[in-house]
Structure 1
């Protein structure tokens, strides 16, 4: 069997997605997600101009060799564009392998380590009262874990708080919108909201919170300490991860668990955090961390150091990536949680899939391969629309991490 074609498909059924579809001479196809939120066309061009020509004629069963070829052969290694492109190829090849073997991908990864994948939803609102109602909405639908984001008095907009509670999408304009941020207002607001949520829903519901890289290490330590009475499952992305030594300072001051890694691209990005046990959950994901093959390397390293998975799963991951993530999640021994933001009906129609949500769990498809595809004809009806992620400034006008 040989690869005869590879199509790069850009579509926007409510938001932009980039999908790679690999075609073989025996008619077996595979799909991979290559979406990089706000920079989709950069990956599409990388695939079209540099990767696709190199795939033609290759044996699709040589997954590891192809991964190494695309990684080491690039010379300019790593980075989100390169690794998202590699991820799309790798994921599509696993899809093909599963179809040829007649098995779902998770069976090729060692089979089930659990019956279902525990997922968390996003409860968000401007006020504490409204947050309680949003948490209740998820609990009523069987969710066992909920991420809680709240508005901050005095700020016109706050990360994670959306007018559309079902399909949150921060990339909202062709040119990045600018928001205003105040760390002081934020730190004074969040703990009281979690006090009310924990009091209302008791000790068993898993609660999470995303700081979104906005604090310094000592500010994050203060927040973590203030949240300890409410037993969060994790505090996500407390600081920008470029300075990984900063996580040691957080560790010295709080026992609130830490999750990080949705912007990581390789195992080397998180090596220190994992091996020195500075985090509790690693949030790397299939599409941004080099595909199923490389994500498994990250999770295997994490398993040796008592770090669990907590993969990113926002709406900028297409159903192709979500399907791939579930096959990894259900097979690894150190699974923690999986983020799950539902897609629009239009997106689900473009990407027909077999995974499903039941009683707080996502269950992967039992079909051979990933159990997901792309309807190319329908995808063509939703042309690309330029969208950018917002940027942040402090109240005095200084640029700040979004």
Structure 2
């Protein structure tokens, strides 16, 4: 019987920091898992190296469900982003191995195709409204039929989602947290204006999305959602912090703008009420932060029972390993909605080679066994870890706000 022989953790920074787990069996089969937690990468790397990797050696890699239960229920200290990200890395690597042993791409192990391609949305942003409109036009020319729009609020330096220069948006960019100024009042005045400007210029023949990024109270979010109903948003994302799931009921009572939540949540229990009481329309949990493929499928299956669709997080703080795993899951699940997509930096491709391809507004998985991703350890060694934090938001009076 094949057993796990090695579990190795790699931390590298080809464009941004990634944590990668590589499991090798006694038969020489390798599996990859992503363990990247933006701004807290070393916490997960240490958890894997010091507490999880020693538990894996000698165990049967085919017993994926048993391994998930062993790492989750057997640890006593449950849930939380560090633990669930570490479990996700192991789970994803074992699914990769199982696919390679079976000689099948992962989506086939999940029940086969439910669709031919995976609809994705891209990120448009601008330092002002004209720049945002130009960026939307650029993405429309690239074939995207779903676009998230974010523009800087005049006079406010801490606007979420606006990239600097021409590269991809990456908020974790400083050795210590960048403390940014925020004004909810200015945002509520400005955001509806630029969303209307997008619709006025480009019309309604594409999906328009917007990320509030946890920054409003429930009643503020209700007001915002009602005000932008004329824009027919595909969704407003994270309108308010999700710790209090009951608060979404108030938003629901005041607006028909669809709601998406979940990228910062790590378990089915974090979204259980949101889903079962239909307080959201899209669940945004992702492979790497929600316990891997095994647990994410449970979340998506629960969502399917309540007419909630998927919309997984997919920014560049997830490595190509997670992106591939997500697209395989998206390809298979019946209640898929949309997949966030930000192309990784070109240098990332020197370390990770993936079979996932973008074409005509969709991502497509390859037919390689398992995830279809290769990791180049030698290339990774050329890109050492660089300490980077996510920003912190402060109101105009200096008090800390939700970033």
Q: TM-score, normalised by structure 1?
A: 0.99
Q: Counterpart of 1:237?
A: 238
Output the CA distance in 2 between the equivalents of 1:248 and 1:23: 47
Output the CA distance in 2 between the equivalents of 1:242 and 1:367: 40
Output the CA distance in 1 between the equivalents of 2:364 and 2:70: 33
C-alpha contact 1:88 1:291 (8 A) present in aligned 2: yes
CA RMSD of aligned residues (A): 0.6
Q: Counterpart of 2:198?
A: 197
Output the CA distance in 2 between the equivalents of 1:139 and 1:349: 28
- Corresponding residue SS for 1:373: strand
Q: How much has 1:165 moved relative to structure 2?
A: 4.0
Output the CA distance in 1 between the equivalents of 2:24 and 2:203: 51
Count of matched residue pairs: 402
C-alpha contact 2:158 2:393 (8 A) present in aligned 1: no
- Corresponding residue SS for 1:9: strand
Output the CA distance in 2 between the equivalents of 1:399 and 1:17: 28
C-alpha contact 1:43 1:84 (8 A) present in aligned 2: yes
Q: Counterpart of 2:141?
A: 140
Q: Counterpart of 2:117?
A: 116
Output the CA distance in 2 between the equivalents of 1:142 and 1:348: 22
Q: Counterpart of 2:314?
A: 313
Q: Counterpart of 1:51?
A: 52
Q: How much has 1:164 moved relative to structure 2?
A: 3.4
Output the CA distance in 1 between the equivalents of 2:37 and 2:93: 17
Q: Does 1:100 align with 2:92?
A: no
- Corresponding residue SS for 1:352: strand
- Corresponding residue SS for 1:251: helix
Output the CA distance in 2 between the equivalents of 1:165 and 1:259: 27
C-alpha contact 2:123 2:147 (8 A) present in aligned 1: yes
- Corresponding residue SS for 2:112: coil
Output the CA distance in 1 between the equivalents of 2:194 and 2:166: 18
1:261-340 to structure 2, matched below 5 A, reads 261-340=262-341
C-alpha contact 1:166 1:342 (8 A) present in aligned 2: no
Q: Counterpart of 1:355?
A: 356
C-alpha contact 1:124 1:165 (8 A) present in aligned 2: no
- Corresponding residue SS for 2:263: coil
Runs of 4 or more above 6 Å deviation = none
Q: TM-score, normalised by structure 2?
A: 0.99
Output the CA distance in 2 between the equivalents of 1:176 and 1:81: 19
Q: Counterpart of 1:380?
A: 381
Q: Does 1:9 align with 2:10?
A: yes
Q: Counterpart of 1:246?
A: 247
Gaps of 5+ in 2: none
C-alpha contact 1:287 1:317 (8 A) present in aligned 2: yes
Larger CA deviation: 164-173 vs 89-98: 164-173
Q: In the TM superposition, what whole-angstrom CA distance separates every residue of 1:107-144 from its partner, at most 9, and x where no partner exists?
A: 00000000000000000001111111000111101001
Q: How much has 1:156 moved relative to structure 2?
A: 2.1
1:63-212 to structure 2, matched below 5 A, reads 63-212=64-213
